[in-house]
Structure 1
Amino acid sequence: MNRMLRSASLAGVCVAVLSGCGGMEEQVRDELELGQVESGLTLTGFTVSLGTHGGTGGTAVTLGCPAGYVAVGIFGREADNIDQLGLRCAYLYSTGALGASANTGTAGGMGGSSFALNCPLGQAVVGFHGRDAARVDALGLYCSTPTNWLSTNSPQYTTVAVGGTGGIAFADAPIRSHLVTAIQARAGARVDQIRGIVSLVNP
């Protein structure tokens, strides 16, 4: 900031006293624009847990996106329950755009049929909905662009839920300025429990 103020002052002197010393104003403008880019969106290390859905069976496992990535979808296997689950992730740029994708490992077994459930292009996962009892019976996504989520706290898209019709309906209360970056799960032959982990995004 001090550097920008000094540069701006010098530019003023240059215009007032030495009208022929061009280039200084362009330098100041470039530095200010660079400062605006540098203050874009960043994922912080601060995380919060969403609701816990399902039972207590199976073994604990964490499905986490790589550093700098946010969840944009889920994949796995489903029938009457969610048999297997993984996260699809995408890199979050400072502009709020989403880039290269990467998949996590999976939790659960090999029953059911394969599925892939994704947010619309440019949107990330902000929470989950579905059905649960002793296991996770069905699972769907709430989605939003990162910039919309920071400003409105209103999901832009809700996917269908994959899985069965058993259990009781649930819906996460998504947290403003936080995007899903991991799922804590319990699983064996099926996915017994999930809990979304959301990371704070600084504007």
Structure 2
Amino acid sequence: MSKRRAASLPGGMLVLGLLAGGLLLPAGFAAAQDVRPGPASGADGRFSLQCDFGQTLVGIRGQAGEFIDRIGGLCAGRTGTVAETGARGGTGGGGFEIRCATGAAVTGLVGTRGTYVDSLSLECRPMRNAQPAGEAAFTASVGGRGGQPFGPLRCPAGQVAIGLKGRAGTFVDELEPDCAPARPAGAAAAVWVSPAAGGKQGNDIKLACGADEVLVGTATRNGNWLDAIAALCVRVTDDGNWAGEPRSTDHAGGAGGVALTRSCPRGQAVAGISGRSSNVVNQLVSECRPLVSAKAVQGPSQKLESVGGTGGDPFGPYPCPGNLPATGLKVGAGIYVDRVQVVCGRE
């Protein structure tokens, strides 16, 4: 039988993990149901903590007591060097760190929850030829003993976690893995399309930037919702600098509303969207991040001023995974913009 290992870090932080090939199931998880954590109530709102492109999530670090107070991701690539994603949540609880065995990556989350995430464990699988393979192993559990079981919240087959998504305030209220197809470091960027926000009407239209361009904003017509939309694209050099000024694609939608343009600062690209929707797109917010190459963004994000109205229900945020920049939009449109999706990366 494999043994769990534990070691102390400076400041009393406890490190829990698995010896290679080991399997450790937290007590009480055998009959866990596949449900997500309860309604979020964090004052700090939603977050997305992502690994750099070519890296996978291999552990988490944070603070916990009766609940998970604060959480951040630990990422590693082909070299094995571990990097942090940053963290979200409060300042209470004691420090913890849990990791997959060497050569394994996170493929799911399991734990207990009530109003907050009470406890958490990681599902890990060995990586072979840059793909998750073999039997799942679970790390030790961190956090308290309350709440009802949830999970495992697993990545789809052939995918691994590249980060964490959720919501947090004083405690972590909601959490799930951010998954993407497994790719080795240095692999060509993939294309990722966000879930659709809005209704099912309208004609399908792709507002695509060119092969050497990235999405840097939108040109819209708006009232209480988006009447029309075009993508703003700019050519980018290999080192991530803008080459020239943004251009507009053709518009999709009608002729109503007031014209508004929203563009990222120079040297940045759109890296996600959020907003409000109903049977149409009521509001759209673009999120920008600094470009570090023609195919990657890195660093903190900033939201552009919203376009549209205040009706509908919130959607997103839908951040581009793996530090990919956005390269276009997919919309459904007639006389209004009925739905929207962001397209990230390219083949």
TM-score by length of 1: 0.72
Equivalent AA in structure 1 for residue 335 of structure 2: A
Change (3 A) 1:121 1:140: same
TM-score by length of 2: 0.43
| Secondary structure, aligned partner of 1:147 | strand
| Residue in structure 1 matching 2:193, options 12, 28, 49 | 49
Distance in 1 between the 2:285 and 2:189 partners? 26
Change (3 A) 1:151 1:144: closer
Shift of 1:45: 6.7
- Higher-helix-fraction structure: 1
Same amino acid, percent of matched pairs: 28
Shift of 1:150: 4.5
| Secondary structure, aligned partner of 1:146 | strand
Distance in 2 between the 1:50 and 1:92 partners? 23
The higher-RCO structure (CA 8 Å, 6+ apart) is 1
| Residue in structure 1 matching 2:239, options 72, 95, 103 | 95
Q: Tell me, which stretches of 5 or more residues in structure 1 are unaligned?
A: 1-43
Distance in 1 between the 2:297 and 2:217 partners? 22
Change (3 A) 1:104 1:45: farther
Distance in 2 between the 1:45 and 1:175 partners? 10
| Secondary structure, aligned partner of 1:80 | coil
| Residue in structure 1 matching 2:342, options 193, 196, 199 | 196
Partner of residue 187, structure 1? 333
Change (3 A) 1:200 1:145: farther
Change (3 A) 1:150 1:63: closer
Change (3 A) 1:77 1:59: same
Partner of residue 172, structure 1? 318
Shift of 1:161: 1.0
Q: Does 1:81 align with 2:225?
A: yes
Shift of 1:145: 1.1
Shift of 1:175: 1.1
Equivalent AA in structure 1 for residue 237 of structure 2: Y
Distance in 2 between the 1:158 and 1:180 partners? 14
1:88-127, Cα deviation, whole Å (9 max, x unpaired): 1111111111112321111000011000011112110001
Shift of 1:173: 3.1
Change (3 A) 1:139 1:155: farther
* Mapped contact 1:177–1:200 kept (Cα < 8 A): no
Equivalent AA in structure 2 for residue 145 of structure 1: P
Distance in 1 between the 2:301 and 2:340 partners? 23
Equivalent AA in structure 1 for residue 242 of structure 2: L
Q: Which runs of 4+ in 1 moved over 6 A?
A: none
* Mapped contact 1:142–1:155 kept (Cα < 8 A): no
Equivalent AA in structure 1 for residue 284 of structure 2: L
* Mapped contact 1:78–1:113 kept (Cα < 8 A): yes
Equivalent AA in structure 2 for residue 140 of structure 1: V
Distance in 1 between the 2:273 and 2:265 partners? 15
| Secondary structure, aligned partner of 1:98 | coil
- Root-mean-square deviation (CA), in Å? 2.3
Shift of 1:200: 5.1
